[in-house]
Structure 1
Amino acid sequence: MTSAVSSPKRVGKINSKLNFLDVIEKRTLGLKVYQTGYDDTIALKLYSSFHQYEVNNTVHDPHVGGIFNLEFSLDGKLLVAACQGQQVLLFDAANQKLINTVESAHQKCVNCVRFLNDRHFATCSDDTSIKIWDVRSTKTCIKTLHGHSNWVKNIEWSEKDDVMVTSAFDGSIYAWNLKTQTENNMMYDKVFLMNGLMRMKLTDDGTKMVIATTNGYMIIIHDLNLMSLATDLRSFRPNLYRLMQISDQCFPVGTIYNYLFSPNRSRNRIEFIDDFPNEAEVISSLQIHPHGWCAVSRNINGDESEEWTTIHDIQDRDPKDYEDAFTYIEEEEPDESEEAEEPLNQRPTDLWMGYISLDEYRNHSRDGSRMSQNNWENFQLPAMGILNSGLIGLNSSYSAYFRQHPEQRNKVIKNLPRMTHFKEEKTVGKGFIKELCFSSDGRMVASPYDRGVRLLAFNEKCQELSVCVPDHPQELRTIVELNDYHKDIVVSCKFSPTHYQLVSGCLGSEIKWYQPVV
């Protein structure tokens, strides 16, 4: 049976040139067209007709290097490019002219650009610094922020908290109060810390944080509260918990934090995402849907032989979905004969390194039997050393907690399936991050594809995700391939927030512009 809306040409009956222009004219006048599916048809027609248009201002300076990131101003009038060669380029988006070049914006390559408001934007770099700029005068930056100890890769703005949030390869996430007078004053200090942190993004409403890792999983922090994040997640080690999930082992140092996953938790609730179409290892690129519905990521496997683009739902789910999302792992009974052979004065050792100093460990072990649950939750884990995971036979400081919550000792939370769509990519440009992006309406994903860009949709009709959520993961549909427009591998792309306009940047200093040709 053929559905009445099986073909885009029949939806709304507006495919003739006259009717299509009539709809566009009504939209410019603010009039609504009450025809089912006409928005989908218009979107499909526009996005499938994207083509490059020639401009005479292509950057040919070899010192610029790769175009690592592209960002439009909030009104879509200005485009800023972050360059491998330490420069920042500013373009007029209306005529595509290069209007300014900030030489030596940083001491090393510029990784990311983020507009904070209509006039100010921030840049971050491998030199570990973040700089704030005013578009009206870019001779010098207006503020330099130091705090990270490794390459800074992400800048986000939380309008809800009125702070800038940054992440770096040092594993830390900082929140900055830009209204303070001193450059290094941070509003919340270090709000999160973990090994293997790759990327961090916030939803537009500031209620969720999504973290991509180098260990094959992502983290959603629901009901985000930046003010209490550092306190709520103190001592929590995501990688250790993930190890429990994949190894079917149970460590008290992990299960003591099961409450962070509780669906009844009202702030900073943790959830892991681990369903990918491949054996993902490094999730290198991450973007959030403009409505906060989903996250698009790009990952590579361990030997870099595969590269995939994946869509995951990040919305709140029914608490009932989590009722059976756990497993109990039985502890092995110790062998009494082996226990008898162990020397009584044997020095305790453990698997987990890098949490506390040895002096603190000795004090912690000595006073462990007297340490209450509340004291343990307030215990700081700063530097290097050994932490007892509870695998060895010590009188653990977790005993008091598990006496009150015995059901948590051997309970490990399982992760719900979140993947909705996927697409395999070409494994080119190894070692470089490819930055994806959503269109402003959220219908389309632009993905770097060799020397061009692919526009990917949730289905062949280019519908919004809210009306075409699949029952099981499906392949993203290629709407158009913009092939071989660059002379080198494309590593960044960006849609305008206000116009049907797309830009892409490659490792060979080129920036290309695209728009529909109807």
Structure 2
Amino acid sequence: MTNLYGSIHPADSVYLSTRTHGAVFNLEYSPDGSVLTVACEQTEVLLFDPISSKHIKTLSEAHEDCVNNIRFLDNRLFATCSDDTTIALWDLRKLNTKVCTLHGHTSWVKNIEYDTNTRLLVTSGFDGNVIIWDTNRCTEDGCPHKKFFHTRFLMRMRLTPDCSKMLISTSSGYLLILHDLDLTKSLEVGSYPILRARRTTSSSDLTTSSSSSAPRVSGSPCHHSDSSSPSEKHMSRASQREGVSPRNSLEVLTPEVPGERDRGNCITSLQLHPKGWATLLRCSSNTDDQEWTCVYEFQEGAPVRPVSPRCSLRLTHYIEEANVGRGYIKELCFSPDGRMISSPHGYGIRLLGFDKQCSELVDCLPKEASPLRVIRSLYSHNDVVLTTKFSPTHCQIASGCLSGRVSLYQPKF
């Protein structure tokens, strides 16, 4: 694996005038790896053949404002979201028109997730809302939707691969986890009891109602504060693992970030390990002078000690980033096998491993948080890289930068 990932070199670059599409905000491959889609700053979506590096098509007016994210529902259908507050559905077989446009958010839409089991689309935006869309009943006029969750300072939202958890990051440094996720539960009957709000390295609990910087959360007419005793919280966690706790139980954490023990931070990017073992965060300090990539292992099972409930996440690996391109979010990603992380780093990307041998995370979990290993650094851009993505089917990586260039990387022996 080290030889394979260590042999990756820049392959091809595609550059179109920034007068038309501007910066590259996000990249997404189709599940079969046959199409690479590019979300652009100036209302456009670009499509490429990642094997030949040829430009297939430009959706010149995909939205009325910046395109932020792209998500494939299957090999032909994909969704895009925008600062124009809408989500659009597209079919690769007929790209001249949208399948439909979804209206429901009141501010910039930043994230799209999809539950393949229920065929429910999940979106989040800077209005603080997580909205569920029923694509089973989609028409030209849209599809039925409901507000599933709301919190202040919402940045990113992700579902674990098995859709058993929803993770939400905030600009105030909090990470929210909805356990035993049930996307079909209605707001009228759903409740979101808060299990715990705490820093991962502290044994003391932080009550959301007493912290001015904690995000206010709601998912039903009833709001639950974390006023239970440690032993009651232990019972809640233990019963959850026995499968009898309410669905959509909420845990609120302040993840440990190296160098940020006494200062606040903003969680700007959030990704999940492809096997659901860990979460990957990109964090920047509130003073904008430090930026970190951190890996947190999911800790399952009941707490070890009743008086000190164990939180769901433990920091295992980290690395400091270049901290350039301030004000822009850098999107990083796991490889399909989960052994590697591709991270924007200045005018290029870095391939990061958990050890020098590119081992699986579960085979090299440290007792204490350890630095990520730089397997390879790749530089082929003339501006700050904002996003990177692994192909799901080929040994290929794509990256996009602030000036509009898309670069591809693959092994060269």
Give yes or no for TM over 0.5: yes
- CA deviations on 1:440-486 (whole Å, 9 max, x unpaired) are 11000000000000000111111000111111111110000113x11
Q: 2:308 aligns with which of 296, 308, 325?
A: 325
Tell me the number of residue pairs that the alignment of Structure 1 and Structure 2 aligns: 382
Q: Provide the C-alpha distance between the structure 2 equivalents of 1:143 and 1:79, rounded to a whole number of angstroms.
A: 21
Distance 1:127 1:212 in 2: 22
Q: Which amino acid aligns with 2:26?
A: N
Alignment of 1:393-412 (within 5 A): none
Q: Tell me which residue corresponds to 1:288.
A: 272
Question: Do the aligned partners of 1:236 and 1:257 also contact (CA within 8 Å) in 2?
Answer: no
- Partner Cα distance (2:386, 2:404) in 1: 11
Aligned partners of 1:458 and 1:476 also within 8 Å: yes
Percent sequence identity is 41
**Residue 105 of structure 2: aligned partner:** 148
Shift of 1:58: 2.9
The equivalent residue for 2:350 is 454
Is 2:309 the partner of 1:309? no
- Please report how far the alpha carbon of residue 140 of structure 1 lies from its aligned counterpart in structure 2 after TM superposition: 1.2
How far off is 1:228 after superposition?
A: 2.5
* Conservation of the 8 A alpha-carbon contact between 1:125 and 1:152: yes
1:376 maps to: none
Q: TM-score, normalised by structure 1?
A: 0.69
Q: Distance in 2 between matches of 1:426 and 1:46?
A: 25
Q: How far off is 1:184 after superposition? A: 4.8
String of CA shifts for 1:51-95, please: whole Å, max 9, x gaps.
10135x432343211100000000001000000011000001110
Q: Give the C-alpha shift of residue 418 in structure 1.
A: 1.3
The partner residue of 2:320 within 424, 429, 432 is 424
Q: Which residue of 2 aligns with 1:174?
A: 131
Report which of the two has the higher share of helix. 1
Cα shift readout 1:116-175 (whole Å, capped 9, x = no counterpart): 011100000000000000111211111100000011000000112220100001111011
Change (3 A) 1:127 1:260: farther
In the other structure, the counterpart of 1:510 is: 405
Partners in 1 of 2:68 and 2:88 — Cα distance?
A: 12
1-structure distance, mates of 2:210, 2:373: 36
Indicate conservation of the 8 Å contact 1:68/1:110, yes or no.
yes
Contact 2:195 2:250 in 1 (8 A): no
Q: Which runs of 5+ in 2 are unaligned?
A: 198-205, 214-222
One-letter identity of the residue aligned with 2:337: D
* Structure 1 residues 38-437: aligned runs within 5 Å: 43-54=1-12, 57-182=14-139, 183-187=141-145, 189-228=146-185, 230=187, 231-233=189-191, 241-242=207-208, 244=210, 254-256=225-227, 262-263=236-237, 264-265=239-240, 266=245, 267-274=247-254, 275-279=256-260, 280-315=264-299, 317-321=300-304, 323-325=306-308, 415=311, 418-437=314-333
Larger radius of gyration: 1
Q: CA 1:193/1:60 → structure 2, altered by over 3 Å: closer, same or farther?
A: same
Distance in 2 of aligned mates of 1:272 and 1:234: 11
Higher fraction of strand: 2
CA contact (8 A) 1:86 1:109 kept: yes
Which residue of structure 2 lines up, in the alignment, with residue 486 of structure 1? 381
How far apart are the structure 1 equivalents of 2:346 and 2:407? 14
Q: CA separation in 1, counterparts of 2:258 and 2:175?
A: 14
> Does structure 1 retain, via aligned residues, the 8 Å contact 2:192–2:224?
no
Which digits, 9 at most, give the CA deviation of each residue in 1:398-451, with x for residues without a partner? xxxxxxxxxxxxxxxx74661111110011111111000110110000000000
Letter in structure 2 aligned against 1:466: V
Deviation at 1:244, TM superposition (A): 4.0
Aligned-pair CA distance for 1:237: 12
CA distance in 2, matches of 1:140, 1:159: 24
- Among candidates 372, 377, 382, match of residue 476 of structure 1: 372
| Structure 1 position 243, deviation (Å) | 6.0
In the aligned structure 1, how far is the partner of 2:304 from the partner of 2:161? 25
Following superposition, the deviation at residue 254 of structure 1 comes to 2.1
Q: CA deviation at 1:515?
A: 0.3
Post-superposition Cα deviations, 1:294-338, rounded to whole Å, max 9, x if no partner, equal 1111011111111100111125x2203362226xxxxxxxxxxxx
Give me the whole-angstrom Cα distance separating, in 2, the residues matched to 1:260 and 1:73. 42
- Describe the shift of the 1:241–1:481 C-alpha distance in structure 2 as closer, same or farther (beyond 3 A): same
Measure, in 2, the Cα distance between the counterparts of 1:103 and 1:257: 54
User: TM (normalized to structure 2)?
Assistant: 0.86
